[in-house]
Structure 1
Amino acid sequence: MTFANAGTLGSAPGQRDALVAHLTQRSDVLQELGCLAYEVGVNDEQPDTVFVVELWTSSEAHQASLQRPEVQSSIAAARPLLSGEFGGFSFDVVGSPLRD
């Protein structure tokens, strides 16, 4: 069952664009780990917030990805760009009008 994770990442003041650049670096590893989509966005009404929507083959694939050295390294590199404010939710996808 497809797993969705949608969240917000607070960026340190003036670091939103650097955080977006980091999060959007090409990563073939994510696809190998079961990531189906990883979309990063911004909203000018919330200038210190980055929005991320992820789709994974399963919740287990998402959790397992967090243990990989490549992912751990990426998280460590992003930490200085973050304010520590996080939000979001996750769920198991049960259907879509775009596919059978």
Structure 2
Amino acid sequence: MRYGYLATMRTVPGKRDDVVTLLLGGEDGLRAAGCDLYVVGTSDSDQNLVWVFEVWQSKAHHAASLELPATKAAIASAMPMLTGEFTGQELDIAGGLGIPSA
């Protein structure tokens, strides 16, 4: 079964777009690491909140991606632009449009 992760992160005022740009910069590496879907979103109702929805081939693929040098560098670059307010929810992905069959 595919592994999903839905998260939010709160940015320092004025840094949301910089964080979004940083998050969107690693698509090729994510794909190679086993990521099937990676969506970054924002909302006009909260100018300092970033949403991220990920679907991975497995939880192990997700965990391994966090150990990649490029991922560690991106996290280090983003941290000064974040307040430390995060949410996260793990999901078992049953399927859906755009999600490969298991």
Find the aligned partners of 2:74 and 2:68 in 1 and give their Cα distance: 10
Give unmatched runs, 5+ long, in structure 2.
none
Distance 1:72 1:98 in 2: 28
- Paired residues in the alignment total 100
Q: Which moved more, 1:6-15 or 1:22-31?
A: 22-31
Look up the equivalent residue of 1:92 and give its one-letter code.
D
Aligned equivalents of 1:91 and 1:97: distance in 2?
16
- The percent of aligned pairs where both chains have the same amino acid is 37
- What is the TM-score normalised by the length of structure 2? 0.89
Partner of 2:22: 22
Question: So what's the TM-score if we normalise by structure 1?
Answer: 0.90
Q: Over aligned residues, Cα RMSD in angstroms?
A: 1.7
Q: Which runs of 5+ in 1 are unaligned?
A: none
Residue in 1 that maps onto 2:32? 32
Per the alignment, do residues 84 and 98 of structure 1 end up closer, same or farther by CA in structure 2, a change over 3 Å counting? closer
Matches within 5 A, 1:2-81: 2-81=2-81
More strand by share: 2
> Take 2:15 and 2:40, find their aligned partners in 1: how far apart are those partners?
15
In structure 1, distance between residues paired with 2:69 and 2:98 = 35
Q: Deviating runs (4+, > 3 A) in structure 1?
A: 95-100
Following the alignment from structure 2 to structure 1, what is the Cα–Cα distance between the partners of residues 26 and 70? 12
Contact 2:5 2:90 in 1 (8 A): yes
